[in-house]
Structure 1
Amino acid sequence: MNQSAFISPHITGLLANRYQLKQLIGSGGMGEVFLADDILLGGTPVAVKFLTQTFINEKMQQDFAREAMLSATLSQKSLHIVRAYDYGVSAEGKPFYVMEYLNGKSLKDLLPIPLSKFLTLTRQICLGLQCAHRGINIDGRVYPLVHRDIKPANILVIPDPILGKLIKILDFGIAKFINYANTISTSKGFNGTLPYCSPEQLEGGEIDSRSDIYSLGVMMFEMLTGAKPWQPETDLFGAWYKAHHFEQPRTIAKVSPQLKLPEQLNNLIMACLAKAPGDRPQNIAEILQVLDSLEKSSCQSLPTHLASTYNPKFAVEAEMSPLLKANFAKLTWPKNKPIQEIVFPQLLDTPQGNLAALWLMLAKQEIKQRVLCQRYNHFIFITSPHPMLLWITLLYDREVGPKWLPCYLDMQNPQNQQLVYSLAEYGRYPLICFTLEAPHSCTNVLSSHIAHTQRQRLKLWIEQSKSLPTFNQALLSKNLLKQQYKQMQSRILQHLDSKPQVVAANSI
């Protein structure tokens, strides 16, 4: 196709009065993907996928719209599925949908992958697949999905300030609902990519989530070795049909003898490649259980971007001024807050100016245990679909265990912007501890230091938040942040366990 001929109608105008197309960045069997600027969001980069001219008929338009709907719905539940948020038809009659622009690399271009990265990436792929397999609600009933085209080319790996590498599953164009009577054209007949298809998928009949598990097994084999489990004589359907139905896969040890895989991982991959669905892991949860066990046994540390923010001296703080101490001593628990174990942020008006603080209520015994805990903090920010900040504070002792103190801040709230500005300017914040037992008094004030790099990011995020249009999608962003938070907790703990415990506390 002539690229210039395709986009020329949009060069002088906006697609849907909103998206300025810039350049072709990808193409596949059904469509082309263009980089564009979302003018409504101040020129934010987005990806616009058009249905190829060849396929513009009613049936394919239905499939295309369905793909957009699935991505939009599933991405609200999983961070690991590409997010779609607009659909339409251009003035020239070409259906399109708009996705988040992800500046990363296809997994197929990164093969083979070291074992340490393999575990992290595969776990994320599984979480995204698990979300699809759990299904979506249609007319009050939940229908599971099968992706049917799991392969490295449909997995995008993008840099991420929290996870190091973030996985996004692409292309739900041939995904199939299970037990849904109104499933449209893509549900019957053979669909997929031959080297990754399960035996039952090649038959074109009914399949379930175990078919995706087979494809995942092929992909895991390829991620570690750079090769596929079979080497048929040709790439024709008949050769792959024979391989998937009748030929045993090669062993990883034979393809890559230099790899020293844990037996548990080798057995998992080979089980996924079983010919009969009943001989494979029966759901993604079983695979995640094995991966989690392997991650714990390998004692992986945090990614370098997190390790660089850790300072073993973070808990050794300068003494607070007498005026500041006296100010804290006068504080009382807010009447509008419940008497229970909670944490919330609040600006304090002190002689030294506005100060962001965390107020928390704990049992007396726990406060006593936490006084000498390590203190760690980290901040996570997302701009879409709504600017939201997660402020994480962790009080940690190897014997006592972790005490997580997460706070979610809507960054289009001016008061929250002031809170974050105070954090960035002052570089530390107090944790004001009130007792759960009466008279609920303030017994201790701890202090947590914020790394210089994080303070710089906070200032940048404030400016970004001020420039974005107003949306009512705070809950969706909060749910996405909760996913990231859950994923990074074990890594933070592993990281802290690998460092010497240097502790001190300010208390009144």
Structure 2
Amino acid sequence: MSEATQPLVYRCTVCHAVYSAGERFCPLDAAPIKPEDQHSDPRIGKTIDGRYFIRRLIGRGGMGAVYEADHVGLDKRVAVKFLSINKSDRDALARFRREAKIASRIVNEHVVPIYDVGTADADTDFIVMEFLEGRDLAVTLREGGALDASRTISIVRKVLRGLRAIHQAGIVHRDIKPANILISPRDEDRDFVKIMDFGISKSIHGGETITHTGAIIGTPEYMSPEQLLGDDIDARADLYAVGIMMFRMLTGKLPFTTETTFDRAAAASPYVPVPSLATIKPHLPRELVVAVEKATAKDRDGRYPDTQAFLTALEAISTPSHVIAPKEATERTVSELGAADTKMLESTPPPPGTQAPPTSVSQPVAVQA
């Protein structure tokens, strides 16, 4: 695709989620949806570092922008992530560079691999990653609502296998959430999983920590109490996030919001437990309810001791072959805005007189920006 044929992107003016042509207002925040012309992007159509020809923008996030690109010498499609934070922010730069270093140590089919790292110019670092076709789990939940128990277990087992490799490498991810879980078909598996984004991860052993104790980094709706309070964390914080993610997958909504100080206090309080799935979804297998409750224990000593223990518990649960649960009416809270953290671009609007493709069609995505 040449620069001259780059499609328009239709983006919410508030949360920046991306939608297909024809949508007027964002269902998450009722803000107007307006076209964003990629012609104005100075990176598109240029070759970076003499090797990577930038084709189009995939998405933007808090730490940067991700583009589809071609490796000129290898004729290989890749994703290139550019840092958007000022060079003077040394902590952010260190986190960005460590993302490549950390991910390069992890070899697992459920973790997005990193190919290269470099500097595009005097002011911009970049990471080259695997280019992936699919949708993040946040989009799947936003468009389809809650999932059934079997599909939830199937997806989360793969997440835990990838997370096990991350933890074995001595790393806490710190931002496990649906927007960082890519779902794409592979062979007979329609829900093949890749864990994305190591921008705020930290060493379990503490030697490579970029942020200081007391700094709150991550997505509050999925943070464990100790992470919300800025305390030291370990791998069990990631397991808590997986448990909260499962709660959302099974119910279509989050157990807590963090919109107000009171909401955040409730989420962090050891005296306010996560609502029981047994009362919200009484038909769920008891073993699944127990697994989620254990993963989301407010006291980390009450959680699974490690990823393998959590995975073993889920592998012991028998459920019928999964069927997508009917879309449920879900409560749209500010926590749902986390679904927009990974923005994906839609296809070019169809010519007049033709029918637009369904929004559920997989789109190319890459590691969250």
What TM-score, normalized to structure 2? 0.71
1:239–1:55: structure 2 CA closer, same or farther, 3 Å change rule?
A: farther
Other-structure match for 2:120: 90
Report the Cα distance in structure 2 between the residues aligned to 1:264 and 1:73, rounded to whole angstroms: 34
Alignment of structure 1 residues 372-451 onto 2, 5 Å: none
Please tell me whether residue 250 in structure 1 is matched to residue 275 in structure 2: yes
Report the Cα distance in structure 2 between the residues aligned to 1:86 and 1:6, rounded to whole angstroms: 27
Report the Cα distance in structure 2 between the residues aligned to 1:96 and 1:237, rounded to whole angstroms: 36
Amino acid at match of 1:33: V
Deviation at 1:6, TM superposition (A): 7.1
1:149–1:83: structure 2 CA closer, same or farther, 3 Å change rule?
A: same
Q: Percent identity?
A: 35
Alignment of structure 1 residues 93-492 onto 2, 5 Å: 93-111=123-141, 112-135=146-169, 144-185=170-211, 189-230=215-256, 232=257, 235-245=259-269, 246-257=271-282, 260-294=283-317, 297-298=318-319, 300=321
State whether residues 105 and 158 of structure 1, in contact with CA within 8 Å, keep that contact through their aligned partners in structure 2.
yes
Which deviations, in whole Å up to 9, do the C-alpha atoms of 1:269-326 show, x marking residues without a partner?
Answer: 01111111111111111111111111xx33759xxxxxxxxxxxxxxxxxxxxxxxxx
State the number of aligned residues.
283
Between structure 1 and structure 2, the one with the greater Rg is 1
1:92–1:226: structure 2 CA closer, same or farther, 3 Å change rule?
A: same
Q: Name the SS of the counterpart of 1:133 in structure 2.
A: helix
RCO higher in structure (CA 8 A, sep ≥6)? 2
Q: Determine which structure has the larger helix proportion and give its number.
A: 1
Deviation at 1:149, TM superposition (A): 0.8
State whether residues 69 and 78 of structure 2, in contact with CA within 8 Å, keep that contact through their aligned partners in structure 1.
yes
Amino acid at match of 2:274: P
Other-structure match for 2:89: 57
Deviation at 1:267, TM superposition (A): 0.5
Which deviations, in whole Å up to 9, do the C-alpha atoms of 1:111-155 show, x marking residues without a partner?
Answer: 2222221121110000011111112xxxxxxxx211111111111
Alignment of structure 1 residues 72-91 onto 2, 5 Å: 72-74=104-106, 76=107, 78-91=108-121
Deviation at 1:53, TM superposition (A): 4.4
Q: Name the SS of the counterpart of 1:185 in structure 2.
A: coil
1:91–1:286: structure 2 CA closer, same or farther, 3 Å change rule?
A: same
Report the Cα distance in structure 1 between the residues aligned to 2:222 and 2:43, rounded to whole angstroms: 38
Q: Name the SS of the counterpart of 1:126 in structure 2.
A: helix
Deviation at 1:10, TM superposition (A): 5.3
Report the Cα distance in structure 1 between the residues aligned to 2:277 and 2:209, rounded to whole angstroms: 38
Task: Work out which of the residue numbers 50, 57, 72 in structure 2 matches 1:24.
Answer: 57
What TM-score, normalized to structure 1? 0.52
Report the Cα distance in structure 1 between the residues aligned to 2:120 and 2:154, rounded to whole angstroms: 40
Report the Cα distance in structure 2 between the residues aligned to 1:69 and 1:3, rounded to whole angstroms: 34
State whether residues 194 and 237 of structure 1, in contact with CA within 8 Å, keep that contact through their aligned partners in structure 2.
no
Deviation at 1:48, TM superposition (A): 0.7
Deviation at 1:37, TM superposition (A): 1.5
Report the Cα distance in structure 2 between the residues aligned to 1:200 and 1:272, rounded to whole angstroms: 14
Q: Name the SS of the counterpart of 1:207 in structure 2.
A: coil
Deviation at 1:72, TM superposition (A): 2.0
Other-structure match for 2:343: none
Please tell me whether residue 33 in structure 1 is matched to residue 66 in structure 2: yes
Report the Cα distance in structure 1 between the residues aligned to 2:117 and 2:49, rounded to whole angstroms: 10
Task: Work out which of the residue numbers 66, 71, 75 in structure 1 matches 2:98.
Answer: 66
Report the Cα distance in structure 2 between the residues aligned to 1:56 and 1:88, rounded to whole angstroms: 17
Report the Cα distance in structure 2 between the residues aligned to 1:225 and 1:280, rounded to whole angstroms: 21
Amino acid at match of 1:36: A
Which deviations, in whole Å up to 9, do the C-alpha atoms of 1:410-434 show, x marking residues without a partner?
Answer: xxxxxxxxxxxxxxxxxxxxxxxxx
Q: Name the SS of the counterpart of 1:267 in structure 2.
A: helix
Q: Which runs of 5+ in 1 are unaligned?
A: 136-143, 302-508
State whether residues 229 and 251 of structure 1, in contact with CA within 8 Å, keep that contact through their aligned partners in structure 2.
no
Which deviations, in whole Å up to 9, do the C-alpha atoms of 1:459-499 show, x marking residues without a partner?
Answer: xxxxxxxxxxxxxxxxxxxxxxxxxxxxxxxxxxxxxxxxx
